Amino acid sequence: MSDSLERLYLAVLAARDLDPATSRTARLFQRGPSKMAKKLAEEAIEVVIDAVNGDTDAVVRESADLLYNLTVLWASAGVRPEDVWREMTRREDMLGIAEKLPKSTMKLPKVASPRVAARRPIVALEGRSARKRH
């Protein structure tokens, strides 16, 4: 999936300077971050509504629109896909792929040392938000 998003991101960058009359992306850049943010929020709501209605096909379609509008906003904000992948990897290394474990008073594991070959053990979800805030 990250390959698709990276290809889309490059296509969005390439379309930024096209004619807004024929390119939606160029038009979004012309109208600026607030319009991009509005479109992204609209798409997120459309995904939510379709999911609540159980319309799986619509969720797929609207998710593609959501990801498109997200990459446009990334480009406008100077965020690259690899910046996001790096943050996701940092969290995975630190927190592991958390599962909903029974509430426990387990001690929070120390913050991960730099990326290691073995992934960190699964940790309690309730500890994740505390650690993310630090």
Q: Using CB under 6 A, which of the segments 6-14, 80-88, 98-106, 116-124 binds ligand PRT?
A: 6-14
Taking CB under 6 A as the rule, does residue 25 contact ligand PRT? yes
Using CB under 6 A as the binding rule, the residues of this chain from 32 to 91 that contact ligand PRT are 39, 42, 64-65, 68
Q: State the amino acid at position 91 in one-letter form.
A: R
From CA 88, how far away is CA 90, in angstroms rounded? Answer: 5
- Indicate which single residue of 5, 6, 13, 24 sits in contact with ligand PRT (rule: CB under 6 A): 24
Taking CB under 6 A as the rule, does residue 5 contact ligand PRT? no
Taking CB under 6 A as the rule, does residue 6 contact ligand PRT? no
From CA 85, how far away is CA 4, in angstroms rounded? Answer: 13
Cα 66 to Cα 10, 76, 112: the distances in Å are: 16, 15, 32
Of 11 and 97, the one with the shorter C-beta distance to ligand PRT is 11
Angle at 128 between CA 93 and CA 63, to 5 degrees: 80
- Indicate which single residue of 13, 18, 37, 98 sits in contact with ligand PRT (rule: CB under 6 A): 18
> What DSSP letter does each residue of 54-90 carry, written as one string?
T-HHHHHHHHHHHHHHHHHHHHHHT--HHHHHHHHHH
Tokens of 39: 């479109």
- Indicate which single residue of 9, 12, 29, 95 sits in contact with ligand PRT (rule: CB under 6 A): 12
Would you tell me which residues interact with ligand PRT (CB under 6 A)? 8, 11-12, 15, 18, 23-25, 39, 42, 64-65, 68
